[in-house]
Chains A and B, each alone.
Chain A
Amino acid sequence: MTLAAGGGRDPPNCGVTAMRLEMLRDLLRCEVLTGADALDTEIDMAVASDAMSVVLSSPHPRALMITGLTNIQSVRTAQISHLSAIMYVRGSRPTETTVKLARDNKTVLLSTELGMFDCCGILYSRGIKGGV
């Protein structure tokens, strides 16, 4: 499944250009899996896909990745693409090995019960751009 919030268009002008991860955590009712000390990081762009090559084809440093893919390649992709954080959807959670790699690389990992479409819609409506 591949979705990119906003399809590259600018989101509605709602006065928000960036969002702290702590606000995103509250908005999408996320559990913080690692990186609780870095929730003041701001993101202004998100890419959503279960296909890591899609994320790698248009990498946006410091963006948020929204995915249902929980294996170690999700964190490797974030590391290579210089992403700030990963949000796992549908309540999916990575293994401890994957969490440890994220911790070592200072990548924030979040998990939400919401689905990918809902996450994209909520973030887009709040001004987060889609990184396509």
Chain B
Amino acid sequence: MPEELLRKTFEIRGWDFENAGERSAAVTTILKDLDVDPSIILRVGVVAFEAEMNVVMYAGRATLTLVVTDREIEVEVADEGPGIPDIELAMQPGYSTASDEMRDMGFGYGLGLPNIKKNSDVFSLQSEVGRGTRVHSTIRLMSYG
């Protein structure tokens, strides 16, 4: 069984563009303090940041949970947003329902979910329209390939 080294949960507020990215930055700081390999921190940071931006753009609020074990790092973001009607479509690079205002913020180009999946060793997405979305990403530490 993997040994859990750290578990921390952050609150994310929707439409709070000014502070968007703060939790992801905090996640990377935690991993640096744990002396995690920089290439792993980069992948976790991209996963957390894209997921955080999705919440800020689409959902009212969410939690981001970071779990570090001796074998892997997990990031789970669970929101209380509108949900995704067609997950397969949402996973296609370039597909987006973002507004021009969101794109003016530098996001909403239909790359967020594909970027999260690309940087994950294990990726899952569950969503229910009207209830919310849960994104789970696992990134293995290098010594466990």
Contact = CB atoms under 8 A, between A and B. Distances in A.
Interface of A: 50-54, 56-57, 59, 61, 67, 69, 71-74, 76-77, 79-82, 97
Contacts of A56: 46, 49-50, 111, 115
B111 A54 contact: yes
Interface in B115-129: 115, 118
Given A57-B118, A80-B24, A82-B38, A69 B111 contact: no
A71 B106 contact: yes
Contacts, number: 73
Nearest to B43: A59
Interface of B: 17-18, 20-21, 24-25, 28, 38, 42, 45-46, 48-50, 53, 103, 105-107, 109, 111-112, 114-115, 118
SS class, residues of chain B in contact with chain A: helix
A89 B114 CA distance: 28
Contact of A80 (B17, B49, B107): B49
